[in-house]
């Protein structure tokens, strides 16, 4: 049985010493909570993106648009241009939609509960929990891929992903208390990012190795178990490059939904496996 109080105490003590310095984060013990806008913006940017890649974008966005109301006033095309390179462009559209609702419907102030955050456009369970915990110190269960991996190893969960997700979420909930919920969420994130890595976990440096069932068995790297993904289909199509006499290239606006939604691109045919 993984000792919950002992693990919480050890991991929070490690976080107090080793917390990563990130531009959207307040250090442990600072005595103030981070700006909800910055927490929300960072969480949206970090979906499917690494910290080193997202950080320059975060710094640029917060310099150009320091408040959610500033961001809400940005024209769609300007926001999409600033987002270019972060990928998953539906996030940018949701980002702008959410900012506009917060600015117009909430006076530029983010709701401070999970339920209130979930009601915003584009805010799912993970982002709502992360903002509630980190920005408002609510006892929310913040579960991303890092946390799933940590739980799978602590409890040596044999069920493969994605079927194991409900079980891993329930296990993570057992560690959430009213005591420092924001720091706890970030401590788990830091543990997964720096110690309990997907490959070559640094078990010898882990502050909570005493509570890890997979580590005790010497096979932490084999968790979480995963079902082999099906091969991705290859699709083919035609791309046209149309130039006028001045050398200008014709572009089209892609549909809002689908690959590179709302972005400018070259005109193409449909794509198929044929």
Catalytic pick among 43, 158, 167, 204? 43
Identify whether 43 is a catalytic site residue. Answer: yes
Q: Tell me if 59 sits within 8 A of 35, measured CB to CB.
A: no
CA 93 to CA 89: how far, in whole Å? 7
Q: Give the HSE-up count for residue 188: Cα atoms under 13 Å, Cβ half-sphere.
A: 29
* φ, ψ of residue 259 in degrees (nearest 5): -60, 125
SS3 track for the chain: CCCHHHHHHHHHHHHHHHCCCCCCCCCCCCCCCCCHHHHHHHHHHHCCCCHHHHHHHHHHHHHHCCCHHHHHCCCHHHHHHHHCCCCCCHHHHHHHHHHHHHHHHCCCCCCCCHHHHHCCCCCCHHHHHHHHHHHHCCCCCCCCHHHHHHHHHHCCCCCCECCCHHHHHHHHHCCCCCCCHHHHHHHHHHHHHHCCCCCCCCHHHCCCHHHCHHHHCCCHHHCCCECCCCCCCCCECCECCCECCCCCECCEECCCCCCCCCCEECCECCCECC
Neighbours of 169 (CB within 10 A): 15
Q: Active-site residue numbers?
A: 43
């Amino acid at each position: 049985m993984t000792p919950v109080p002992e693990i919480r105490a050890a991991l929070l003590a490690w976080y107090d010493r080793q917390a990563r310095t990130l531009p959207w984060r307040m250090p442990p013990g600072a005595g103030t909570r981070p700006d909800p806008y910055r927490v929300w913006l960072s969480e949206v940017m970090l979906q499917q993106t690494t910290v080193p890649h997202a950080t320059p974008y975060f710094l640029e966005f917060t310099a150009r648009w320091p408040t959610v109301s500033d961001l809400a006033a940005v024209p769609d095309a300007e926001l999409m241009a600033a987002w270019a390179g972060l990928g998953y462009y539906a996030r940018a559209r949701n980002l702008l939609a959410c900012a506009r609702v917060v600015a117009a419907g909430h006076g530029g102030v983010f709701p401070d509960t999970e339920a209130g955050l979930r009601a915003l456009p584009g805010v799912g369970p993970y982002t709502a929990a992360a903002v509630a915990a980190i920005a408002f110190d609510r006892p929310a269960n913040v579960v991303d891929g890092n946390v799933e991996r940590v739980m799978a190893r602590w409890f040596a969960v044999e069920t493969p992903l994605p079927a194991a997700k409900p079980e891993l979420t329930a296990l993570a909930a057992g560690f959430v208390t009213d005591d420092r919920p924001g720091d706890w969420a970030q401590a788990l994130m830091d543990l997964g990012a720096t110690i309990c890595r997907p490959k070559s976990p640094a078990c010898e440096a882990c502050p909570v190795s005493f509570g890890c069932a997979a580590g005790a068995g010497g096979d932490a790297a084999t968790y979480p178990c995963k079902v082999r993904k099906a091969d991705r289909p290859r699709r083919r199509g035609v791309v046209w490059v149309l130039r006028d006499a001045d050398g200008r290239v014709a572009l089209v606006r892609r549909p809002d939904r689908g690959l590179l939604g709302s972005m400018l691109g070259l005109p193409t045919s449909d794509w198929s496996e044929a």
